[in-house]
């Protein structure tokens, strides 16, 4: 028996989707009209979360508590990845990279390639033409030899400082 869509089913599905979207966005409340007077209310005690919700990362005054914001010990934003490209059956030089930093590897050749550490510490897996993979530099400074598993004559070095 074939399943047929009827107008009633379509209306119910549309209403259900609209309700789901409305429920998924509880923080979107319309702004009060400019002409409507706003009653003065006492501010919530410092440190109290919005609407008394203990899971909310925001305080009633709209600020983020130091613990949620990371305080003074907030980590620096992640560094932009170092780029290594594979082109003409060769790896581009990456220069020196910081320990643990991201390295974006892009295959610009028509053939599949990998960038694999000789010691197995990092590996992009097989990359087809135009594909990109991100690996992390080893956490220990040093020089790391790598190669292409598919074309072992392709070799390179990663210098981690």
Output the DSSP codes for 69-108: HTGGGPPPPPPPPEEEEE-SS-BPP--EE-TT-EEEEEE-
Q: How many domains does the chain have?
A: 1
pTM comes to: 0.52
CATH for 125: 2.60.40.420
Q: Could you tell me the pLDDT band of residue 152, with boundaries at 50, 70 and 90?
A: very high
- 134 part of a folded domain: yes
Please answer whether residues 115 and 87 qualify as being in contact, where contact means their C-beta atoms are separated by less than 8 angstroms: no
Select the more confidently predicted residue: 158 or 50: 158
Residues written for the chain: 161
Q: Which residues contact 125 (CB under 8 A, 6 or more apart)?
A: 114, 133
Asked whether residue 86 is domain-assigned, the answer is yes
Q: Are 146 and 159 in contact (CB under 8 A)?
A: no
pLDDT given for residue 6 in this prediction:
57
Output 39 or 119, whichever has higher pLDDT: 119
Q: Is residue 113 assigned to a domain?
A: yes
Residue 126 counted as domain residue: yes
Q: Which long-range contacts (CB under 8 A, 24 or more apart) does 140-146 make?
A: 140/99, 141/99, 144/117, 144/118, 144/119, 145/117, 145/118, 145/119, 146/91, 146/115, 146/116, 146/117, 146/118, 146/122
Instruction: Determine, yes or no, domain membership for 30.
Output: no
Structure confidence by residue, pLDDT tens digits, 66-92: 554 454 555 555 556 789 999 999 999
Whether 91 is covered by a domain: the verdict is yes
Give me the domain span that covers residue 104: 82-160
Has residue 94 been placed in a domain? yes
pLDDT > 70: percent of the chain: 50
Q: Is the pLDDT of residue 138 over 90?
A: yes
């Amino acid at each position: 028996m074939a399943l047929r869509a009827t107008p009633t089913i379509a209306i119910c599905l549309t209403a259900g989707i609209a309700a789901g979207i409305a429920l998924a966005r509880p923080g979107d409340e319309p702004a009060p009209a400019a002409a409507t007077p706003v009653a003065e209310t006492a501010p919530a005690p410092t440190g109290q979360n919005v609407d008394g919700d203990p899971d909310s990362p925001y305080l009633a005054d709209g600020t983020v508590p130091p613990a949620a914001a990371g305080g003074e010990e907030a980590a620096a934003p992640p560094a932009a990845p170092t780029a290594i490209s594979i082109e003409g059956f060769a790896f581009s030089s990456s220069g020196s990279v910081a320990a643990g930093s991201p390295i974006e590897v892009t295959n610009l050749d028509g053939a599949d390639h990998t960038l694999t550490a000789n010691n197995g510490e990092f590996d992009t897996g097989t990359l087809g033409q135009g594909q990109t993979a991100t690996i992390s530099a080893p956490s220990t400074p040093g020089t790391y030899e790598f190669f292409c598993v598919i074309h072992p004559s392709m070799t390179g070095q990663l210098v981690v400082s």
